[in-house]
Amino acid sequence: PKTDIVFLKVHKSASSTVMNVLFRFGETHNLTFAFPIGGGNQLFYPRHFLARFVEGFSPSSPRQFNILCHHMRFLQPEVHKVVSSSAFYFSILRNPVKLMESSFAYYKGASAFSRVRSLEEFLRQPYHYYNPTDGDRHYARNLMTFDFGFNPDGEVSAERVKLMLKAIEASFDLLLISEYFDESMVLLKEMLCWDLDSVVSFPLNIRDSSTKSTLSDTVVEKIKDWNRLDWEIYTHFNRTFWERIDRDIGRERMQREVKALRERQGELARTCLQGMGSVAPKHIKDSSLKPLQHGSARILGYNLKQGLDKETERMCRRLVTPELQYSSALYKKQFAQNLP
């Protein structure tokens, strides 16, 4: 199994669920994480990543970490300084239309969104609200492009798009697609030589459907247009994703693997969860399992069954612990000796 991993956690793309997979694997195998200094949950995002943002890194005696997976703005030469040269790089992408709808609900406080009532209103005259010099502008335009380290306001010429896609291909071993999450996990499992239980997960940091809005065709086209660079990245890697499945796994085997993954998830849901699925924040009984609520989104969570034996309870709790709580627990564990 591969244990040196860089995951570029792209915002609002099922990346919290992927992070849970990495947290569990890292904890089980006693791996080290490249944590933000002070145990925060972002590597000084939205600045480009620098090795010195990592707790325990020092240029005089560079130390390598197994897993780098907290929010960062990608800058490969700096990433190279904190992980092994043989590390496996991957990320996950989401349809920019869904991504923007989610971003609008989640980052309603961002300067570009704070003065508008709806996404439609914003898209009618985006430059009325969007200022390319605002420090949080990236939440409102080409968010994936930004996270990969590029300029979200760059011109969309064929030449520039080609260079951007080439650069991403040169840096990353695998790009997953959040709309095909189960297929993505099967592909990840194959590439990392992990077992099925390592990639089984419950969806984390997801919104209650009551806070999701349906978009008209006109709005969909406007979103694609406004996020043209993201759209180019997504369509290109959505295509190569399926090409890779055809080449490395084949559709029939993929169907069997996805079925096995879903069955195992169902089994774990029956073992671990009260009521089988996610619940609204107000119904989460254990406050340590309550996810951070943000913007106008209502983020769902889980209740664990009572009376589980110790070992099962531990396994189940890992599956449903929200990102911030899990990250903070792992940080304390890794730096126990230095904490006052």
Q: Strands, E, within 24-173: which ranges?
A: 67-68, 88-93
CA distance 314 to 144: 34
- Count of helices and strands (H, E) across the chain: 14, 4
Decide: helix, strand or coil at residue 135. coil
Domain span including residue 93: 5-335
Contact 258, 190 (CB under 8 A): no
Please state the pTM of the whole predicted model: 0.95
Answer whether residue 97 is part of any domain.
yes
Contact 178, 184 (CB under 8 A): yes
Answer whether residue 48 is part of any domain.
yes
Number of domains in the chain: 1
Q: What is the pLDDT along the chain (340 residues), one digit of tens a residue?
A: 999 999 999 999 999 999 999 999 999 999 999 999 999 899 999 999 999 999 999 999 888 999 999 999 999 999 999 999 999 999 999 999 999 999 999 999 999 999 999 999 999 999 999 999 999 999 999 999 999 999 999 999 999 999 999 999 999 999 999 999 999 999 999 999 999 999 999 999 888 777 778 899 999 999 999 999 999 999 999 999 999 999 999 999 999 999 999 999 999 999 999 986 899 999 999 999 999 887 777 889 999 999 999 999 999 999 999 999 999 999 999 998 665 5
Answer whether residue 213 is part of any domain.
yes
Answer whether residue 318 is part of any domain.
yes
Answer whether residue 340 is part of any domain.
no
CATH of the domain at 202: 3.40.50
Answer whether residue 126 is part of any domain.
yes
Contacts of 32 by beta carbon, 8 Å cutoff, 6+ apart: 26, 65, 66, 67, 334
